[in-house]
């Protein structure tokens, strides 16, 4: 009969797991290294048209008139779309909080540079772009709201007039006796911090092909969709179609990191198809469109923050005041980024009380979207910088100050002031391993010698908690309802013993198809290559979410285990019936259903599946001829939030310490990374090579955020960054080769003990680098509290003391 919860890989019904926990090569890769994977722009449909979008050059302007007649008259142009069509057929985007969404194409006024104003469907993309040049738009510029501070200035222009204010949300969370902690503190360190806009920038931009079925009143969209089911729900709301008439087919994606975007592009292509009598319309966003107005801008934040510290180094209180520039509304769910830190507000530390004073405002910058980490990277930059400032004030080593304040292993499960419960961890073990790996004492001695020689060398030692397996409840306070995030799979065995795992998501890079196959293969005792993982379209897939919030590795594992367990129960019943015994006498082991009392007697999966499919006369009367099982997993034990947002939200708490040594060049302000060391604990490593890849990729994005990447806006909200010449993604020359070691503390609450691990490195790297730079600058009495610490920014600081 079926086993209970599988806490560790050793609990799988095989003598020795062959795939789980091993560095297996990925199922995904052959199609990717040969260039044959079907990314959206590799897909063509018969009669397909190509879309190009005309975008606003103004940050804030009334649209007086649009003349599309010349474009419509062009040979090869099939349809032209403007805001008037949207007004007639659509609703504005649904947002959280509600009421801060625009139509997918500007109606009456534009709110940011790059907002779609008109679009053309033509027989090829070149011609569609020619047609855009024939569209005449008259604008009346309006006073604009260029940044977060301007948004709250009395008399400021309103981005959404009907709201009467640019403040999307303003509230204070109070957790514990914050005022008393600060009143009783021996030291208070406080400061302001600025995190400038960065974003996902996957190498593939957003793309889709939409086809409106005019007779069936239905819509089919192929595209680079990260969360197909939610894309269908969102389109249902904007396009006024029942959600079950929207079929979202996710193609393999060239990266996502949360910032793929897609709602506006999908709506526009869909409506062009509707106007072009149902011909399919392809829209492939180009890089300039992505950088201007795609899903790639996140975290535009102004902070004031303070730490209460006792003389012995005990940190007792944390206050964070955040003014967050959401851009032109909440359509990209950037608001969630501000709520996410609730899952780990106080990081690794036993801080008793905390306050989060949060103001989210709308401006005439591009709307903000998720980006890997979804909020904590800037928060940890602030928290960890304060910890370093406290260490300097107390004259303590920053690693020792952290050690003194860590949550201790025996304190888990540990509830942080902001309400989430951490499952497990060994923070001091991780720290000590990192210090040993880097030979910290030697690095400090090197630093002392270099300083004596006048060089600016600094060391950052930063530990963070990565909340893994997100839950909607964490975001309730910005207006996202719900508890639980279903992830469903179907596991089917065919007559020859091949196994199919049908999932609701497609490839995005993190290797979850491989994880699903590893788990299914080890549970069912088959070779990994006997397992095929396939994506089901959104209208027939089980409830699912897909990639996001460091959850899919864990949740797909839970779903596959659940479905395999149901198959095991079913197969045991069939075999018991055939062998005239009871199901309790039958067990699954190494791919065979066998008699417990006589293991030599049994049936293979193929024999059982074949019997079910082809010999219904032999089945128990109430068993369907269906060797398949569905299972929809959601994290156990999640709770509804209280009035202060407190709840059990993210299921797992991974932990890492990053140690980095940098040198700042006095003459140029350029930062060089001299060494980088990482010790990571994400519980059971389902595929260690994939985990390493997640860490290394997160480090690279963290290096970008700390040193290079920034969406710069001019004083009038004009974006000054529109190409990769301006938005500086780190190359192979800028990303350090890190030395790594591992601690494994299996999660007691997750399937096989795995913890979410996609976001830990980007939580940690920016803070570690910024702390290292400030350690380097500390002899000069200056510090950088704004990201990225670009050469220009550091050079200007250095001039103050030159």
Partner 1 sequence: MTDKQRVCVTVNGRRYERWVEPRLTLVDFLRHELHLGGTHVGCEHGICGLCTVLIDGRSGRSCLTLAVQVDGAEVTTIESLRDPSTGALHPIQQAFVDAHGLQCGFCTPGFIMTTVELLRENPDPSDEEIKRALDGNLCRCTGYQSILASVRLAARRLREGREA
Q: Which is nearer to partner 1, 22 or 180 (CB)?
A: 22
Q: Which is nearer to partner 1, 130 or 213 (CB)?
A: 130
Q: Which is nearer to partner 1, 256 or 367 (CB)?
A: 256
SS3 187: strand
Q: Which is nearer to partner 1, 395 or 733 (CB)?
A: 733
Q: Which is nearer to partner 1, 126 or 626 (CB)?
A: 126
Please check whether residue 522 is in contact with residue 17, taking contact to mean a CB–CB distance below 8 angstroms.
Answer: yes
Q: Which is nearer to partner 1, 509 or 525 (CB)?
A: 509
In whole angstroms, how close is the CB of 693 to partner 1 at the nearest point? 6
Q: Which is nearer to partner 1, 448 or 724 (CB)?
A: 724
CA dist 616 to 583, 602, 619, 624, Å?
A: 18, 19, 5, 8
CB atoms within 10 A of CB 448: 11
Q: Which is nearer to partner 1, 396 or 689 (CB)?
A: 689
In whole angstroms, how close is the CB of 502 to partner 1 at the nearest point? 21
Distance of alpha carbon 538 from alpha carbon 520, whole angstroms: 22
Q: Which is nearer to partner 1, 32 or 613 (CB)?
A: 32
Tell me which residue of 733, 742, 746 sits closest to 700, measured CA to CA: 733
In whole angstroms, how close is the CB of 202 to partner 1 at the nearest point? 6
Q: At what angle do helices 427-438 and 440-452 cross, to 10 degrees?
A: 50
Q: Which is nearer to partner 1, 67 or 696 (CB)?
A: 696
In whole angstroms, how close is the CB of 285 to partner 1 at the nearest point? 11
665 Cβ partners below 8 Å, 6+ apart?
Answer: 456, 671, 672, 791
For 449-497, the DSSP string reads HHHHTT-EEEEEEEEEEEEES--GGGGGGGT---S---EEEEEEE-TTS
395 DSSP assignment? T
Distance of alpha carbon 350 from alpha carbon 181, whole angstroms: 13
In whole angstroms, how close is the CB of 134 to partner 1 at the nearest point? 13
**Buried/exposed 483-501: b ≥16 CB within 10 Å, e otherwise:** bebebbbbbbbbeebbbbb
Q: At what angle do helices 688-703 and 760-777 cross, to 10 degrees?
A: 40
Distance of alpha carbon 741 from alpha carbon 659, whole angstroms: 12
In whole angstroms, how close is the CB of 205 to partner 1 at the nearest point? 8
In whole angstroms, how close is the CB of 731 to partner 1 at the nearest point? 5
Q: Which is nearer to partner 1, 508 or 657 (CB)?
A: 508
Q: Which is nearer to partner 1, 289 or 522 (CB)?
A: 289
In whole angstroms, how close is the CB of 319 to partner 1 at the nearest point? 34
Q: Which is nearer to partner 1, 224 or 774 (CB)?
A: 224
Binding site for partner 1 (CB under 8 A): 23, 25-26, 28-37, 39, 41-42, 126-127, 130, 200-205, 252-257, 286-288, 507-511, 689-690, 692-693, 695-701, 723-725, 729, 731-733, 735, 737-738
CA dist 666 to 459, 795, 799, Å?
A: 17, 7, 9
For residue 157, count CB atoms less than 10 angstroms from its CB and return exposed for 0-12, middle for 13-18, buried for 19 or more: middle
In whole angstroms, how close is the CB of 126 to partner 1 at the nearest point? 7
Distance of alpha carbon 138 from alpha carbon 227, whole angstroms: 37
CB atoms within 10 A of CB 30: 11
Tell me which residue of 386, 381, 309, 392 sits closest to 778, measured CA to CA: 392
SS3 374: coil
In whole angstroms, how close is the CB of 242 to partner 1 at the nearest point? 33
Q: Which is nearer to partner 1, 155 or 733 (CB)?
A: 733
CA angle 470, 473, 475 (to 5 degrees): 85
For residue 457, count CB atoms less than 10 angstroms from its CB and return exposed for 0-12, middle for 13-18, buried for 19 or more: buried
* β-sheet bridge partners, residue 662: 458, 673
715 phi and psi angles, rounded to 5 deg: -65, -25
Please check whether residue 362 is in contact with residue 323, taking contact to mean a CB–CB distance below 8 angstroms.
Answer: no
In whole angstroms, how close is the CB of 734 to partner 1 at the nearest point? 9
Tell me which residue of 113, 63, 61, 114 sits closest to 86, measured CA to CA: 63
In whole angstroms, how close is the CB of 279 to partner 1 at the nearest point? 17
HSE, side-chain direction, 13 A CA sphere, residue 362 = 31
Distance of alpha carbon 59 from alpha carbon 63, whole angstroms: 12
In whole angstroms, how close is the CB of 521 to partner 1 at the nearest point? 18
Distance of alpha carbon 283 from alpha carbon 81, whole angstroms: 13
Q: Which is nearer to partner 1, 121 or 383 (CB)?
A: 121
In whole angstroms, how close is the CB of 113 to partner 1 at the nearest point? 18
First-to-last C-alpha distance (Å) of the chain: 75
In whole angstroms, how close is the CB of 25 to partner 1 at the nearest point? 5
In whole angstroms, how close is the CB of 624 to partner 1 at the nearest point? 39
Q: Which is nearer to partner 1, 511 or 645 (CB)?
A: 511
DSSP H helices in 504-623: 512-524, 552-578, 605-614
367 DSSP assignment? P
Q: Which is nearer to partner 1, 356 or 711 (CB)?
A: 711
SS3 552: helix
Distance of alpha carbon 318 from alpha carbon 185, whole angstroms: 11
In whole angstroms, how close is the CB of 728 to partner 1 at the nearest point? 10
């Amino acid at each position: 009969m079926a086993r209970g919860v599988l806490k560790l890989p050793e609990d799988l019904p095989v003598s020795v797991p062959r795939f789980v926990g091993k560095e297996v090569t990925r199922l995904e890769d052959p199609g990717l290294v040969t260039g044959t994977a079907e990314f959206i722009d590799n897909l063509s449909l018969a009669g397909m048209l190509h879309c190009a979008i005309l975008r606003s050059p103004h940050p804030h302007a009334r649209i007086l008139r649009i003349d599309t007649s010349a474009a419509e008259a062009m040979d090869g142009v099939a349809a032209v779309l403007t805001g008037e069509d949207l007004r007639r057929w659509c609703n504005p985007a649904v947002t959280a909080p509600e009421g801060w969404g625009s139509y997918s194409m500007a109606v009456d006024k534009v709110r940011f540079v790059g907002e779609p104003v008109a679009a053309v469907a033509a027989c090829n993309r070149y011609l569609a772009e020619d047609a855009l040049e024939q569209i005449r738009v008259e604008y009346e510029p309006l006073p604009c709201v260029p940044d977060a501070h301007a948004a709250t200035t009395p008399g400021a222009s309103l981005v959404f007039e009907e709201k009467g204010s640019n403040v999307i949300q303003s509230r204070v969370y109070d957790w514990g006796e914050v005022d008393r902690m600060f009143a009783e503190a021996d030291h208070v360190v406080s400061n302001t911090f600025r995190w400038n806009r960065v974003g996902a920038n996957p190498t593939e931009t957003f793309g889709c092909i939409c086809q409106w079925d005019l007779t069936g009143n239905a819509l089919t969209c192929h595209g680079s969709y990260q969360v197909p089911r939610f894309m269908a729900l969102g389109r249902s709301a904007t396009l006024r179609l029942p959600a079950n008439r929207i079929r979202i087919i996710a193609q393999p994606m060239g990266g996502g990191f949360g910032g793929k975007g897609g709602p506006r592009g999908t709506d526009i292509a869909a409506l062009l198809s509707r106007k072009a009598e149902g011909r399919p319309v392809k829209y492939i966003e180009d890089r300039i469109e992505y950088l201007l107005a795609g899903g790639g801008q996140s975290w535009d934040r102004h902070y004031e923050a303070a730490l209460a510290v006792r003389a012995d180094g005990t940190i007792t209180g944390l206050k964070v005041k955040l003014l967050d520039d959401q851009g032109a509304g909440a359509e990209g769910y950037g608001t969630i980024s501000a709520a996410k830190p609730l899952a780990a507000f106080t990081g690794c530390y036993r801080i008793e009380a905390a306050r989060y004073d949060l103001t989210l405002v709308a401006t005439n910058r591009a709307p903000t979207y998720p980006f890997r980490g979804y909020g904590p990277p800037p928060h940890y930059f602030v928290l960890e910088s304060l910890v370093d400032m406290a260490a300097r004030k107390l004259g303590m080593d920053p690693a020792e100050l952290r050690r003194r304040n860590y949550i201790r292993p025996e304190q888990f499960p540990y509830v942080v002031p902001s309400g989430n419960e951490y499952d497990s961890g060994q923070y001091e073990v991780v720290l000590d391993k990192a210090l040993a790996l880097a030979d910290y004492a030697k690095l400090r001695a090197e630093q002392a010698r270099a300083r004596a020689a006048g060089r600016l060398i600094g060391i950052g030692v930063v530990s963070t908690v990565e909340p893994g397996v997100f839950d909607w409840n964490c975001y309730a306070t910005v207006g996202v309802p719900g508890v639980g995030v279903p992830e469903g799979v179907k596991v089917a065995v065919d007559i020859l013993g091949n196994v199919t795992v049908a999932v609701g998501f497609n490839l995005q890079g993190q290797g979850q198809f491989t994880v699903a196959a590893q788990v299914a293969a080890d549970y069912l005792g088959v070779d990994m290559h006997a397992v095929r993982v396939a994506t089901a379209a959104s209208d027939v897939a089980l409830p699912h979410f897909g990639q996001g919030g460091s959850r899919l590795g864990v949740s797909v594992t839970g779903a596959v285990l659940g479905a395999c367990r149901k198959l095991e129960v079913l197969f045991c019943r069939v075999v018991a019936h055939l062998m005239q015994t009871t199901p309790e006498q039958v067990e699954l082991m190494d791919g065979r259903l066998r008699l417990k009392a006589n293991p030599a007697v049994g049936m293979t999966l193929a024999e059982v599946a074949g019997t079910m499919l082809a010999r219904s006369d032999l089945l128990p009367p109430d068993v369907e001829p269906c060797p398949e099982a569905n299972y929809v997993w959601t994290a156990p034990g999640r709770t509804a939030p209280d009035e202060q947002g407190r709840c059990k939200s993210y299921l797992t708490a991974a932990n890492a310490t990053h140690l980095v040594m940098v040198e700042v060049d006095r003459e140029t302000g350029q930062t060089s990374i001299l060494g980088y060391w990482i010790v990571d604990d994400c519980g059971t490593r389902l595929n260690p090579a994939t985990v390493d890849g997640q860490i290394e990729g997160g480090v690279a994005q963290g290096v970008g955020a700390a040193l290079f990447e920034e969406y710069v806006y001019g004083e009038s909200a004009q974006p000054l960054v529109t190409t990769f010449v301006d938005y500086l993604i780190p190359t192979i020359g800028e990303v350090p080769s890190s030395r790594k070691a591992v601690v494994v503390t299996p999660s007691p609450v997750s399937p096989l003990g795995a913890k979410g691990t996609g976001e830990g490195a980007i939580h940690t790297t920016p803070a570690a680098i910024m702390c290292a730079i400030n350690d380097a600058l500390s002899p000069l009495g200056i510090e950088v509290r704004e990201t990225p610490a670009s050469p220009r920014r550091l050079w200007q600081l250095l001039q103050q003391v030159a």
